[in-house]
Structure 1
Amino acid sequence: MKTIQGPGLFLAQFAGDLAPFDTLDHLAEWSAGLGFAALQIPSWDARLFDLALAAESQTYCDDLRGRLAAKGLQISELSTHLQGQLLAVHPAYDRQFDGFAAPAVRGDAAERSAWAAGQLKLAARASARLGLKAHATFSGALAWPYLYPWPQRPAGLIEEAFAELARRWRPVLDAFDEAGVDVCYELHPGEDLFDGLTFERFLDAVGQHPRANILYDPSHFLLQQLDYLAFIDIYHARIRAFHVKDAEFRPNGRQGVYGGYAPWLERAGRFRSLGDGQIAFGAIFSKLAQHDYPGWAVLEWECCLKHPVDGAREGAEFIKRHIIRVADRAFDDFADGQTPRAELRQLLGLEGDA
């Protein structure tokens, strides 16, 4: 069995223009001071990371790793959540997502998608240079506007959407395979990959590609009312990254899973800081340990109530408490012994040797 690594911190929600959130070195010192052991780095944030340079320069990557190691930190994964999103965008969301893309490709869906594919391939090479084995991303979405079948979806619509999604992702997955890095899709509402069935559909469309894997985030499953513990039992072989994020779901007579367009603070389903929600993390860490999860436990903070600094400080301790140092021997080893076969048969009431 493997002991889960952690705690890690996803920097996307913390990076900003003011110290200590303005540079990777400042964030590293701050994170290490809170007790984090690794950072998940958003590859699109130039204040923290130069993706193009990392893809080409081993010197840059070695220097980066050395600076973090001096503070007692590693890199858990790089993230291309925004670039993955832009690989496949339904036209309904063009204007909203254009701001995530490089200025030169805004307003041109085909160019934007090609740019995103290039970014993802850079991330594959950068991850390899940094010695990483997993990568965090989104799948993008072509079918999401048709989630609820009213008006009734035309026959073949979802199949065509997933065929196209697979066509765009297949060369990217091949690039990650060449780099020896797993692509871990965060299964997330708003993406075409948002639950187990959509992940299975995608796996079929990409020919069960070995690099198509899962970033497990139970908060998104709780808000869908999906059994997030059974999910681990079903898909553990493909879980290669883990966001430790809490949530609560309190439906009432006015709203349920869909939230009634309420703001986050007033939704029945809300993200919360670790320990403030309803997710059974003790059971999650136990199942991941049981199934030999090989990666990091990374805090993603998106609480609608608590200050992020408090959420990070409390979250580091929360993850430390939940990581199970797995046993190196069975608890009943003391009773083990070598019993001759003849005695075994005698114990079973069987006479003589067979």
Structure 2
Amino acid sequence: MTLDQKIPEVTFIKNIGSTPQEEVSTLQVYYKKSIANNCVGETCLTRTMPEVTNPDKVLLGWNTEADGTGEAFTKDTIVEGDMKVYAQWGEKPADPVIPANPTVPSKPEGKVEVIGGEDRTGTASLVSGKFFDKADNVVIARRDLFPDALTASVLAKALDAPILLTHTDHLDAETAKEIKRLGAKNAYIMGLNGAISKSVEEEISKKVAKVERIGGENRYETASLIGKKVVDLVGKKGKAVIATGENYADALSISSFAAKEGYPILLVKQNMVTPESEKALKELAINKVYVVGGDKAVSDQVVKALPELIQRIGGKDRYETSALIADTLFKDSTRAFLATGQDFADALVVGPVAASQNAPVLLTKADKLPEPIAKTIEKANYAKLYVLGLEKAVNKSVWEKLK
């Protein structure tokens, strides 16, 4: 883009109070740039996110949908056209009550453990640090968009590797540090240069002996290529998991099961088996499938066009689907991982870890535990529940009730 062309605009919507459609501000962001990297040559536009407050709520972040079911928008999100984003609000934590005669606090039971960094990259590195002493392999995914990384959990489990996150145009310092700590020899990059740039690949290649990039022209081809790699590594043929590629939640909820079993995850559109996935089904000799998601995610006509159906697991929304997966495929699990269902990154990076522990990935809203998830946790009575992310991902008011 040249400087005389129209610059995309991001409009920030208040999304609360008596005037929820009120605009907080509108920022210009250069095409295929982010607010954090909003420069063309030496010319830079605004590089800070707008501030908005409410006396009764706390700002959790921004989303492309008012109800929080779209994609998260951060300072690192790549902008490709005019768009609106909506503030997402949570409950303010209550002021602590100080007893008249303070006592020494009791030792936590340890049932609930929070793993959260200052941002998603930090959380990914902390997950890696907790569950991997060393690793020959690492899987590297883009931190701000889900399509290329959506099915990476199965690959990471097959490689016995953590998933680490990075910006498109530079390697994050925490990720670089974690690669070194792990002593990794091989790095697998998810997506083509548009997802993770060639310069980032070059940075990674200085830290490991071998870099392999797995990426197609779209998310469906990338998922198919990852699926082929998984089958090569695991050696299982015949079964696959089918999920929508038009959103991230269902694929991430099923990722632990698919990774545990070594089944590739192939993506479809709601009303179509894409050519890339159709080709993969034939090449991998898939004759039986699990389908995740209801009719709004994967239509009945698509299910009929697929190989023999083993089981379809789908609820009325992403949270009920997540709960049903845990209820039906992880009946004997003694632990679980809880991550926000309003963004993809935390659930993505914990998928291979959950698979290794025979644990489900449960999705929650930031400020409220959805009823189906609450019922699943109560019924399962997990001995250990890991919560992914700090306050903006999962509020303390949510997980404190689970202790």
TM-score (norm 2): 0.29
TM-score (norm 1): 0.31
| Larger RCO of the pair (alpha carbons < 8 Å, separation 6+) | 1
The structure with the largest helix share of the pair is: 1
The structure with the largest strand share of the pair is: 2
